[in-house]
Amino acid sequence: MTIENLSRNKSFGGWNKQYSHHSTSLNCQMRFAIYLPPQTLTGAKVPVLYWLSGLTCSDENFMQKANAQRIAAELGIAIVAPDTSPRGDDVADEDSYDLGKGAGFYVNATQEPWKSHYQMYDYVVSELPALIEKTFPVTSQRAISGHSMGGHGALTIAMRNPERYSSVSAFSPINNPMNCPWGEKAFSAYLGKDKETWRQHDASELMKSATQLLPALVDQGEADDFLATQLKPEALIAASQVSGYPLQLRHHEGYDHSYYFIASFIEEHLRFHNEYLKAM
């Protein structure tokens, strides 16, 4: 597979790079960003944290706003940030921020006109890691994290594939998409009317029945405008109590849904993941 380097910036002794490649899962040209810490410049292979961004975002938001590179450089962790949806002139879209381009929801769409491109679950779980591990000096050790829609993606992907990840974390995730406006709209379009199929992409439903338990850290700002109507952290807490899932869910007074919140606590998330990556 051919990949094209679009940009490169030195950062904390390592390199922040952006690439383009053709995705077979998504049937379009895709972009991702990767941070390679300084340890890779001397021949070392390092583990990878996959970061999934939220609605309206791309591969650039986290890399430019979260200030994660400093700690990743210290710990020796690569960071990979894919785009949030397929892109291109022939990719289905809707004139709405919460459906279509920029709003892939990390599912495999089964409905028209979405299914020919919107296979974000397969892209994140299989295609992208295979490309990263073939191309860059990284190991097969993986952790996964994300924000909002990406927090939903990180939690659901980790719980459906616990053998692939050492740990999972999220900022302000959509915890119960089956029962919130964002999730109901996206799932109806991408997955159809059968709500039983929705359960495989709902973190709270998956956590209730989980048997392989990954360490999980979730941070939620109490001044988040979407807290009550869209995010529903109480559903995730209730689910963890059913299965005994090792969930840390922390509330933070005064913090909102923005990258100011993420930047404030990303160091703690990277150190959390590092503990479990080292244990693998």
Q: E strands of the chain, at which residues?
A: 3-11, 14-23, 28-36, 46-52, 78-82, 138-147, 168-171, 216-221, 247-252
pLDDT for res 172? 98
Q: Which of 224, 240, 269, 273 is catalytic?
A: 224
Element (H, E) at 208: helix 203-208
Report the SS3 class of residue 259.
Answer: helix
pLDDT for res 280? 65
Q: Has 269 been annotated as catalytic?
A: no
Tokens (6 digits) for 197: 């199929």
Distance CA(68)–CA(66), nearest Å, equals 5
pLDDT for res 66? 98
Domains and CATH numbers, the chain: 3-278 (3.40.50.1820)
Mean pLDDT, 10 residues at a time, the chain of 280 residues: 94 98 98 98 96 98 98 98 97 97 98 98 98 98 98 98 98 98 98 96 97 97 98 98 97 98 98 90
Give CA 18 to chain center in angstroms. Answer: 17
User: In a 10 Å sphere around its CB, with 0-12 CB exposed, 13-18 middle and 19+ buried, how is residue 130 labelled?
Assistant: exposed
Q: Has 252 been annotated as catalytic?
A: no
Q: Has 251 been annotated as catalytic?
A: no
Q: Which of 145, 148, 204, 240 is catalytic?
A: 148
Q: Determine contact, residues 93/125, Cβ cutoff 8 Å.
A: no
